[in-house]
């Protein structure tokens, strides 16, 4: 049994989290924590998760499984976490990608910096879903951004919550009028790190 660092697990769930880890069940292990702590657990236990062969599954589960969002994670740290992942294993940890060589993806954002993150990994194939994310917290300046990515740029696809979530870090994107297919008269902005 590997010694995991489990700082945010309730004492009565500690053994259960270790049992899930030993069984190779990343989702079960992360289910022992409140979802916003998932990325912290993955970060704290990178080497153990890699050694156990469940790093990619744990990373994807922690990233997409949060109950709110990952705004407390800097865009400077996320490339490190995703960069450690084996791309094929990460892709296989999600749902199968829809057919196609290129995908139009959308991202809904709102609020002010540092929490307004146009540049990040969570995008969706559904413009209406992006608009929902832009407006769900009733923050200032909701916006939807759009871009097109090639199949090989996608790290993972998850549709578990029917959000058609595409995990990738596009190079550029354009702002749309929320709830409309009409592009606002703005230039492309960099979306990559």
pLDDT digits (tens, 9 = 90+) for 11-21: 888 899 999 99
What pLDDT score was predicted for residue 118? 87
- Pairing, β 156-158 against β 143-150: unpaired
Say how far apart CA 151 and CA 100 lie, in whole Å.
7
pLDDT digits (tens, 9 = 90+) for 161-178: 999 999 999 999 999 965
What pLDDT score was predicted for residue 16? 94
Helices (H), 53-99: 55-64, 78-84, 87-93
List the structure tokens of 10. Answer: 């309730």
Helix or strand holding residue 143 (H, E)? strand 143-150
What pLDDT score was predicted for residue 178? 52
Q: What percent of the chain has pLDDT over 70?
A: 89
Q: Residue 46: count other Cβ atoms within 10 Å of its Cβ.
A: 15
Which among 149, 162, 165, 154 is positioned nearest to 107, based on CA atoms?
165
Sketch the domain layout of the chain as residue ranges: 11-92, 95-190
SS3 59: helix
What pLDDT score was predicted for residue 186? 46
Residue 114 preceded by cis peptide, ω within 30: yes
Please tell me the pTM assigned to this model. Answer: 0.87
Low-confidence spans in the chain with pLDDT less than 50: 1, 179-187, 193
DSSP label at residue 183: B
List the structure tokens of 90. Answer: 């990460």
């Amino acid at each position: 049994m590997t010694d995991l660092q489990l700082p945010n697990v309730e004492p009565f769930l500690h053994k259960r989290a270790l049992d899930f880890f030993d069984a190779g069940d990343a989702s079960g292990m992360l289910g022992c924590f409140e979802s916003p702590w998932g990325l912290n657990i993955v970060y704290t236990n990178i080497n153990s998760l890699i050694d156990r062969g469940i790093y990619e599954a744990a990373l994807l589960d922690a990233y997409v499984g949060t109950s709110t969002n990952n705004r407390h994670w800097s865009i400077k740290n996320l490339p490190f976490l995703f960069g450690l992942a084996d791309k094929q294993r990460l892709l296989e940890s999600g749902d199968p990608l829809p057919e196609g060589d290129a995908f139009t993806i959308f991202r809904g954002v709102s609020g002010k910096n540092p929490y307004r993150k146009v540049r990040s990994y969570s995008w969706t194939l559904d413009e209406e879903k992006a608009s929902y994310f832009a407006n769900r917290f009733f923050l200032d300046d909701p916006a939807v951004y759009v871009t097109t990515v090639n199949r090989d740029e996608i790290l993972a696809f998850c549709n578990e919550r029917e959000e058609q979530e595409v995990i990738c870090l596009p190079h550029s994107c354009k702002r749309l009028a929320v709830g409309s297919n009409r592009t606002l008269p703005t230039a492309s902005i960099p979306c990559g790190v």
